[in-house]
C-alpha cells in the first residue's frame, strides 16, 4: 500500500505539471486540496469503521500503472456483448482511460452528452459550480479520484428536456502488459423538469489485475427525473471502488439500481442528499456472487428537509466462500418532519462458507416521521423446493426460480426493457440455468 501511495504522490506532481495552463486555477486548487486529504489519511484500512469488513490491502500491493500513454484499440466484435445492442442509445465509451470516439455517439443539440475533459475546457463555469460539490470531502478514495479527475462522462440535460434514448457509459480496460489503475470521473446534471435514463458499466478485457476507482457526482434539480443503473459483472482479476453522490432538489425523483454479479472486490459508496422538500429516492441492489468474491454496499439517505421519501431494497445471494457487506444509513435531521424512509436488506447464503455482514442504521432527530428498516439472513426454503420438485421441476431449475423470485423486487424500477432482459439473462447464467425469467 505504501509503495502505491508513493507512486500516486509522484504521479500527481507529473499530472499537475502536464495540465498546467490547460485548466483553471480553481480546478487545480480543488485537485491539490483533495490530494492533501489522501496524503493525510492514506488508503482506508480495516481499522477504519467504514471499512472494517473490506480489506483493500491485498489488492493495493500490486504494482499498478497509474497513467496510460498509449491508446489501445478494441475490436467491436469483442465488446458489443457489453452494450445494450438492441436499443438505440447515446454512448460514451472509454478504453484505458481515453475517450473512444469511434465506439461512441455524443450530442450537443438539445442537451450535452460528451466527455468530462471537454466540459473542463468548454464549460469552465459548470466546473466552478459543480465540480467536487457532492462527494464527501474526507473520503480518501473519492479524494484520490478528485485529485486525478480529468476524463469520464459529462451529461447535462437542460430545462424541460427529456432524452428519449438511454445513455450508456462504458469503461473498458484492455491493457495486456501490466496491472492498471483507472480513475474515471463523471458529472451528471439534470436541470429543472429534465429526464434521462443512464446505464453504467466497467469492464476489464485484460488478463492482468485491474483496479478502478470511479467517482460520479449527480445533481437533480426541481421536478427532474433520473433512472440510473449500474451493471457490475467484471472478471475475477478486476476490482472496483465506486463513489457516487447525488444531490436532489424539490419534487425530483431518482431511482438508482446497483446490480453486482462479478469482480474480485466491489465496493459501492452511494450517498443521497435530499436537499429540498418532496423528493423521492429509490435505491435497489442485487448481489449475486460466488467463490472468492466480495461485494460491499455502503449507502446513505440524508434527509435534510421535510416531506421527503426514500425506499431502499437490497437483496444478496452468496455462493461458495463469497462475502457480502451491507451498511445502509438513514439520517433524518431535526427539521425533516414528515419523512418517510424505508430500508430492507435480505440475504441468502447458499453454503456454510458464504457470509454477510449487515448493518442497517437509522439516525432520527425529528419527531413526526415514518422510518423502518429490516434485515434477514437465511437459506432456501426446503418446503418450497420440495413443492416445486414434486410438480416435476428439476432441483437446479427449482432452486433458480426461488432465487429469482427472491431477488426480483430489486428489478422493479428498471425502465429500459432491454436492460431488464439482459439482467435476467445474467441472473440465469449466474444460477447455471437456461431459463427465460421474463415468461
**pLDDT value at position 22?**
52
User: Per the structure, how many domains does the chain have?
Assistant: 2
Measured between alpha carbons, how far is 424 from 414 in angstroms, rounded to an integer? Answer: 12
Cross-strand pairs, 230: 200, 258
β-pairing, 111-115 vs 153-157, is: antiparallel
Q: Shortest CA distance to 74 belongs to which of 96, 48, 51, 49?
A: 96
**pLDDT value at position 24?**
63
Measured between alpha carbons, how far is 157 from 298 in angstroms, rounded to an integer? Answer: 28
Q: Which of 261, 276, 291 is the last residue of a domain?
A: 276
User: CB–CB of 255/419 below 8 Å?
Assistant: no
In a shared domain, residues 268 and 402: no
Measured between alpha carbons, how far is 294 from 267 in angstroms, rounded to an integer? Answer: 8
Task: Please enumerate in sequence order all residues whose Cβ is within 8 A of that of 61, keeping only pairs 6 or more positions apart, or say none.
Answer: 1, 3, 4
Note whether residue 311 is domain-resident. Answer: no
Q: Which of 276, 304, 328 is the last residue of a domain?
A: 276
Could you tell me the CA-to-CA distances from 426 to 121, 320, 366, 405, 419 in Å, in that order? 39, 18, 42, 15, 10
**pLDDT value at position 353?**
96
User: CB–CB of 328/312 below 8 Å?
Assistant: yes
**pLDDT value at position 313?**
97
Note whether residue 153 is domain-resident. Answer: yes
Query: Residues 51-104: pLDDT tens digits?
Result: 999 999 999 999 898 876 555 677 777 788 899 988 899 999 999 999 999 999
In a shared domain, residues 76 and 191: yes
**pLDDT value at position 70?**
55
Q: Say how many Å lie between the first and final Cα of the chain, rounded.
A: 49
pTM above 0.75, yes or no: yes
Backbone angles phi, psi at 176, to 5 degrees: -110, 5
User: CB–CB of 176/59 below 8 Å?
Assistant: no
**pLDDT value at position 270?**
98
In a shared domain, residues 252 and 387: no
Q: Can you give the residue range of the structural domain that contains 134?
A: 2-276
Q: Which of 231, 247, 276 is the last residue of a domain?
A: 276
Q: Shortest CA distance to 31 belongs to which of 111, 119, 122, 137?
A: 137
Note whether residue 248 is domain-resident. Answer: yes
Note whether residue 314 is domain-resident. Answer: no
Could you tell me the CA-to-CA distances from 97 to 60, 92, 234, 312 in Å, in that order? 19, 12, 17, 32
What's the CA angle centered on 255, arms 97 and 236, to 5 degrees? Answer: 40
Note whether residue 59 is domain-resident. Answer: yes
Q: For every one of its 439 residues, what pLDDT tens digit does the chain have, with 9 covering 90 and above?
A: 788 988 898 888 888 777 765 556 788 889 999 999 999 999 999 999 999 999 999 999 998 988 765 556 777 777 888 999 888 999 999 999 999 999 999 999 899 999 999 999 899 999 999 999 999 999 999 999 999 999 999 999 999 999 999 999 999 998 887 899 999 999 999 999 999 999 999 999 988 999 999 999 999 999 999 999 999 999 999 999 999 999 999 999 999 999 999 999 999 999 999 999 999 999 999 999 999 999 999 999 999 999 999 999 999 999 999 999 999 999 999 999 999 999 999 999 999 999 999 999 999 999 999 999 999 999 999 999 999 999 999 999 999 999 999 999 999 999 999 999 999 999 999 999 988 877 5
How would DSSP label each residue in 326-364? Answer: EEEEEEE-TT-TT-EEEEEEEEEE-SSS-EEEEEEEEEE
Query: Residues 234-286: pLDDT tens digits?
Result: 999 999 999 999 999 999 999 999 999 999 999 999 999 999 999 999 999 99
Could you tell me the CA-to-CA distances from 197 to 48, 219, 285, 340 in Å, in that order? 35, 14, 17, 25
User: Is residue 150 left, alpha or beta, with left meaning phi > 0 and alpha meaning psi from -120 to 50?
Assistant: alpha
Q: Shortest CA distance to 410 belongs to which of 311, 293, 266, 276?
A: 311
Residue 79 CB coordination number (10 Å): 18
In a shared domain, residues 392 and 262: no
Task: Please enumerate in sequence order all residues whose Cβ is within 8 A of that of 428, keeping only pairs 6 or more positions apart, or say none.
Answer: 400, 404, 434, 435, 436, 437
**pLDDT value at position 436?**
83
Note whether residue 305 is domain-resident. Answer: no
SS3 assignment, position 48:
coil
Measured between alpha carbons, how far is 355 from 389 in angstroms, rounded to an integer? Answer: 27
Note whether residue 321 is domain-resident. Answer: no
In a shared domain, residues 394 and 272: no
**pLDDT value at position 28?**
86
Note whether residue 367 is domain-resident. Answer: no
In a shared domain, residues 131 and 258: yes
User: CB–CB of 302/273 below 8 Å?
Assistant: yes
In a shared domain, residues 396 and 247: no
Amino acid at each position: 500500500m505504501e509503495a502505491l501511495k508513493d507512486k500516486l504522490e509522484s504521479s500527481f506532481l507529473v499530472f499537475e505539471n502536464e495540465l498546467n495552463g490547460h485548466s483553471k486555477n480553481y480546478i487545480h486548487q480543488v485537485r491539490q486540496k483533495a490530494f492533501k486529504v489522501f496524503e493525510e489519511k492514506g488508503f482506508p484500512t480495516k481499522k477504519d469503521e467504514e471499512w472494517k469488513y473490506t480489506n483493500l490491502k491485498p489488492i493495493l500491493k500490486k504494482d499498478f500503472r497509474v497513467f496510460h500513454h498509449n491508446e489501445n484499440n478494441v475490436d467491436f466484435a469483442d465488446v458489443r456483448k457489453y452494450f445494450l445492442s438492441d436499443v438505440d442509445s447515446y454512448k460514451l465509451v472509454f478504453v484505458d482511460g481515453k475517450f473512444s470516439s469511434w465506439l461512441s455517439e455524443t450530442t450537443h443539440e438539445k442537451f450535452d452528452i460528451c466527455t468530462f475533459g471537454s466540459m473542463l475546457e468548454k464549460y469552465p463555469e459548470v466546473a466552478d459550480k459543480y465540480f467536487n460539490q457532492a462527494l464527501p470531502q474526507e473520503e480518501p478514495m473519492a479524494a484520490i479520484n478528485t485529485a486525478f479527475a480529468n476524463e469520464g462522462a459529462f451529461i447535462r440535460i437542460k430545462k424541460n428536456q427529456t432524452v428519449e434514448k438511454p445513455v450508456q457509459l462504458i469503461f473498458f480496460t484492455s491493457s495486456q502488459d501490466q496491472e492498471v489503475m483507472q480513475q474515471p470521473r463523471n458529472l451528471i446534471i439534470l436541470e429543472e423538469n429534465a429526464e434521462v435514463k443512464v446505464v453504467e458499466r466497467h469492464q476489464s478485457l485484460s488478463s492482468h489485475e485491474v483496479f478502478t476507482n470511479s467517482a460520479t457526482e449527480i445533481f437533480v434539480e426541481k421536478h427532474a427525473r433520473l433512472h440510473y443503473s449500474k451493471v457490475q459483472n467484471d472478471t475475477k482479476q478486476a476490482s472496483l471502488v465506486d463513489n457516487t453522490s447525488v444531490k436532489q432538489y424539490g419534487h425530483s425523483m431518482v431511482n438508482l439500481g446497483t446490480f453486482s454479479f462479478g469482480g474480485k472486490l466491489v465496493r459501492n459508496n452511494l450517498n443521497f442528499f435530499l436537499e429540498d422538500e418532496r423528493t423521492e429516492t429509490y435505491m435497489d441492489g442485487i448481489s449475486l456472487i460466488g467463490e472468492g468474491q466480495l461485494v460491499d454496499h455502503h449507502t446513505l439517505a440524508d434527509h435534510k428537509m421535510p416531506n421527503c421519501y426514500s425506499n431502499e431494497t437490497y437483496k444478496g445471494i452468496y455462493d461458495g466462500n463469497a462475502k457480502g457487506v451491507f451498511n445502509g444509513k438513514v439520517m433524518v435531521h431535526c427539521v425533516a418532519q414528515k419523512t418517510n424512509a424505508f430500508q430492507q436488506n435480505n440475504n441468502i447464503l447458499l453454503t456454510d462458507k458464504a457470509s454477510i455482514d449487515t448493518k442497517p442504521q437509522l439516525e432520527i432527530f425529528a419527531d413526526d416521521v415514518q422510518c423502518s428498516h429490516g434485515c434477514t439472513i437465511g437459506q432456501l426454503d426446503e418446503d418450497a423446493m420440495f413443492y416445486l420438485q414434486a410438480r416435476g421441476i428439476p432441483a437446479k431449475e427449482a432452486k433458480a426460480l426461488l432465487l429469482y423470485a427472491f431477488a426480483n423486487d430489486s428489478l422493479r424500477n428498471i425502465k429500459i426493457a432491454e436492460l431488464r432482459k439482459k439482467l435476467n439473462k445474467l441472473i440465469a447464467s449466474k444460477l447455471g440455468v437456461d431459463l427465460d425469467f421474463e415468461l
